[in-house]
Chains A and B, each alone.
Chain A
């Protein structure tokens, strides 16, 4: 009886697809979390830009293209300084690129071969083991690479460099005007190549392991050898992914600080165009660590400018890489790419 009486009082519940208030609040929180990374990237740009403004006002574009880094008395010439500070980043900028290129030349072929091995050649157990070891190698701290590079690798590598110079010195990049081979871009590139190989390998491995099985088996059924299958199926399938992985590695190599700081001799006022065996190089990240300790406020602004240039450089490399990798993987998932 009471049920019937109550029935008339119950309103029919409105069926709706709009979320309720707590949901709307939490969805807003999640959206904020989602765009947080964008906010951080924006804040990094704005702060570095604002703090480095004095340097860009003083030197303009010369800050990037000039080849001088003189601390002077810490004041620019425009403020009536007798011993003016002059900042030009170009040797460091070019040095960063040179070291990164050396590292890429060593690391990319090794990474691709390693990924082939893990995905196509090695037995399952061995390839799992190698995957774990590569991932572990990716998490070795960079300061340990610096320690190892400075005290263990440099003596060996300068010996290798001497041999290269002695026997292949007729090739321009292996020639050297000074007989010192320590702390050269070559050594720094070697250290970096060990650090970025795991990164490129893991991207290449992921892409290759997504190769459609029916295509692989189709190739085998047509009588292809493993090499022919890789050449005609896996490589075309994974090419753009490898480019993306290499760009990720490039970004890492450009931004690496401590390891390079210890194994590279920074020369601020001359550009080492191609003599990778000479003890003469540059790196923006290492410049910041090297100069930051006793810098005047104006020089700190210069270092912020250097950081801004480095940030833009790695951001460009990473955005390109992210775009390529994301596109390749999503094409795989939606089945567009076959």
Chain B
């Protein structure tokens, strides 16, 4: 009797056996199997049917499984585990779905001539071997490059204020930078439109587009730069000061160089933030059909604007062009982002 009622002690220090691993992952596996069976046997079909069946069965399992499990402690664990499994699977399925649905039509319609030509000879629904998106690619590079030149000094200066001056305003500066990171992109565009274009200081140009993007880029640069500048040890600053350096020289010759890669990461993350922005460019840089190398005169096409306008046309070939442009933009953003990651890792 007494031997039977003894509780078998759990051994949390042991690695879980394959059997336990299997049992604990059952709640997330069963719905997949059940959904597959449903799709095979009943009227529900295709990916959508599978996703729906999976969703229904998972919700059922989340409710029923813990009731079936007798141990109260295990019950909580199981609920959380299945929640984590479901959330992870759902989110990454969605991301994979987005990525794959850009890759598929993008690669299928990809034609190298699209990266070389511009839209000057393209009419609505022209076949894909006519013209291309070079003007948008060049425009994007110019507009984003100019935005970087404008926003990086201000971003790094406000980071320097927080880490070097350490004045009374530090909490407010940080507060406003965070508030600024929430300015909707359309409002940034609307502001530049209201302040510069309506007042006829500037017409629609690439430069006004850059200004709008710079507003969106500044908080990202400032926050990342602040984080990397804070990693510079105070000993370095004190050593430089005790050698007789002024604070200015300390900053330029010690603090900034020692945080160089981190600052580059900050700049790249800022670029990745704005490279795909569409809404502000609709109101500022507008668009165009030919390559325009001068950001201070004439409207300028950009990749996001190109996708937007081709989508709005809606014919088969134009939408195909939009997919190719989306693929190009996605590859660009991913490249920029990976560069930032790799640089960021080598720092540590």
Contact = CB atoms under 8 A, between A and B. Distances in A.
Interface stretch (B32-40, B88-96, B109-117, B120-128): B88-96
Given A113-B84, A152-B101, A226-B77, A255 B182 contact: yes
A318 B187 CA distance: 14
A61 interface: no
Contacts of B90: 110
Interface string A168-206: 000000000000000000000000001001000000000
Given A136-B334, A143-B326, A145-B98, A34 B184 contact: no
A335 interface: no
Nearest to A114: B87
A7 B97 CA distance: 80
Contacts of A4: none
Nearest to B308: A143
B276 A257 contact: no
A19 B164 CA distance: 13
Nearest to A293: B282
Contacts, number: 275
Contacts of A304: 190, 194
Interface string A4-43: 0000000000000001101100110111111111101101
A144 B157 contact: no
Interface residues of A, number: 95
A92 interface: no
Interface in B220-237: 222
A256 interface: yes
Contacts of B175: 319, 322-323, 326
A36 B154 contact: yes
A44 interface: yes
A156 B93 CA distance: 15
Contacts of A30: 157-158, 160-161, 164-165
Interface of A is mostly: helix
Interface stretch (A72-80, A265-273, A284-292): A284-292
Contacts of B172: 38
Interface of A: 19-20, 22-23, 26-27, 29-38, 40-41, 43-44, 47-48, 50-51, 109-114, 116-117, 121, 130, 132-137, 139-148, 150-152, 156, 159-160, 163, 194, 197, 220, 225-228, 230-231, 248, 251-252, 254-258, 262, 285, 288-289, 292, 300, 303-304, 307, 310-311, 314-315, 317-319, 321-323, 325-326
Interface of B: 12, 47-48, 52, 73-74, 76-77, 79-81, 83-88, 90-92, 94-95, 97-99, 101-102, 153-154, 156-158, 160-162, 164-165, 167, 169, 171-188, 190-191, 194-195, 198, 215, 218-219, 222, 246-248, 251, 272-273, 275-279, 282-283, 304, 307-308, 311, 319, 322-323, 326, 329-330, 333-334, 337, 341
30 contacts: A26-B247, A30-B160, A31-B161, A31-B169, A34-B158, A35-B176, A36-B154, A37-B173, A40-B218, A44-B191, A47-B195, A113-B83, A113-B88, A121-B81, A121-B84, A133-B92, A135-B337, A136-B334, A141-B277, A144-B307, A148-B101, A152-B97, A225-B73, A225-B74, A225-B77, A226-B77, A230-B80, A289-B186, A326-B174, A326-B175
